[in-house]
């Protein structure tokens, strides 16, 4: 694998909120700071895929970047604040905020979706950013939610992402929900999930109806995910290693050679 491919695989695998740490480590491993330019394309892919968020100067709200609201040359736009901004992919900081008026045949739907999605997000995500953007020549709408929480002092970070592509003409909606959790106190544990979603909402659906469908599918997913933790714990985890031997007693190591004679146990050939 080439150097560039290795470096970009590191960036792609960066946990939520840890891009600066990963970049710092890469520079130290290579022993030079000039690798920054080489990393730039990987940073952009990462930020757009992860829906990285940033505060616009003078505002307390965080806006997101994605492939769907890119205007090219590192400039992105936000519907709610009607502004465009330059995004630095290495530092994840915004600058050069300008007024941006959305031009779309669906601008009314976009605005009411932003409003309904915003209400929904406030009800279920303690801290989130949302976006609705016309894509594919104004024939579809991308509906994005990203909720991140970073707690590096407690060695964990997490992110929930949902994205849906809604086609107004057919009323169909496809998308994916992804969860990424990193826990790294005395170790490195990662939860990565990906749930593909396909919904039909009807071509004349109003914004609140569309968002209700999204709300339902996300609630169901979180419930399923909670159940999955339980079944993995009771299933795969339990069958890997018992908490205690079937006798419910710890081993008497002084008598270990007698175990083989007393109990007809297999000799390492079983799997």
Is the distance from CB of 145 to CB of 130 less than 8 angstroms?
yes
Cα–Cα distance for residue pair 11/88, rounded to 1 Å: 16
- Residue 60 as a binder of other proteins (CB under 8 A): the answer is no
Smallest separation (angstroms) from other proteins to the CB of 111: 23
Pick from 98, 105, 139, 233 the residue near other proteins by CB under 8 A: 233
- Contacts of residue 183, Cβ cutoff 8 Å, sequence gap at least 6: 155, 156, 189, 190
Cα→Cα distances 239→232, 234, 246, Å: 10, 8, 13
Pick from 158, 163, 168, 173 the residue near other proteins by CB under 8 A: 158
Cα–Cα distance for residue pair 2/163, rounded to 1 Å: 32
- Residue 15 as a binder of other proteins (CB under 8 A): the answer is yes
- Residue 137 as a binder of other proteins (CB under 8 A): the answer is no
- Residue 122 as a binder of other proteins (CB under 8 A): the answer is yes
Between CA 50 and CA 59, with CA 53 as vertex, the angle to 5 degrees is: 170
Smallest separation (angstroms) from other proteins to the CB of 37: 16
Cα–Cα distance for residue pair 94/37, rounded to 1 Å: 18
**How many residues line the site for other proteins (CB under 8 A)?**
89
Given the complex with other proteins, which of 82 and 119 has the nearer CB atom?
119
Strands 172-183 and 75-78: unpaired
What length does the chain have? 271
Given the complex with other proteins, which of 169 and 247 has the nearer CB atom?
247
- Residue 55 as a binder of other proteins (CB under 8 A): the answer is no
Is the distance from CB of 179 to CB of 167 less than 8 angstroms?
no
Binding mask 77-96 for other proteins (x = CB under 8 A): --------------------
Piece of the chain touching other proteins by CB under 8 A; list 88-96, 109-117, 200-208, 234-242: 234-242
Sheet holding 129-135, edge to edge: 129-135, 140-151, 156-167, 172-183
Piece of the chain touching other proteins by CB under 8 A; list 13-21, 69-77, 92-100, 102-110: 13-21
- Residue 186 as a binder of other proteins (CB under 8 A): the answer is yes
- Residue 139 as a binder of other proteins (CB under 8 A): the answer is no
Smallest separation (angstroms) from other proteins to the CB of 9: 7
- Residue 4 as a binder of other proteins (CB under 8 A): the answer is no
3-state secondary structure of 183: strand
């Amino acid at each position: 694998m080439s150097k560039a491919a290795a470096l970009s695989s590191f960036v792609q695998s960066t946990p939520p909120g840890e891009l600066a740490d990963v970049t710092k480590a890469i520079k130290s491993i290579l022993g030079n700071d000039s690798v920054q330019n080489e990393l730039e394309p990987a940073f952009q892919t990462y930020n757009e895929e992860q829906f990285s968020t940033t505060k616009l100067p003078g505002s307390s709200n965080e806006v997101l970047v994605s492939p769907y609201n890119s205007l090219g040359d590192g400039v992105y736009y936000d519907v709610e604040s009607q502004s465009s901004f330059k995004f630095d992919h290495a530092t994840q900081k915004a600058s050069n905020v300008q007024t941006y008026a959305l031009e779309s045949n669906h601008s009314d739907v976009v605005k009411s979706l932003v409003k309904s999605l915003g209400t929904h997000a406030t009800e279920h995500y303690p801290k989130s950013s949302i976006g609705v953007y016309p894509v594919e020549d104004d024939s579809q709408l991308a509906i994005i939610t990203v909720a991140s929480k970073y707690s590096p002092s407690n060695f964990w970070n997490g992110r929930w992402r949902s994205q849906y592509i809604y086609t107004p003409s057919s009323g169909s909606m496809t998308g994916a929900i992804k969860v990424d959790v990193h826990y790294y106190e005395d170790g490195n544990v990662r939860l990565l999930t990906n749930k593909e979603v396909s919904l039909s909402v009807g071509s004349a659906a109003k914004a609140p109806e569309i968002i209700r469908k999204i709300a339902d599918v996300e609630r169901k997913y979180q419930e399923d995910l909670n159940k999955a933790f339980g079944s993995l714990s009771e299933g795969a985890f339990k069958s890997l290693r018992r908490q205690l031997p079937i006798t419910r007693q710890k081993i008497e190591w002084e008598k270990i050679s007698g175990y083989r004679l007393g109990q007809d146990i297999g000799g390492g050939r079983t799997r």
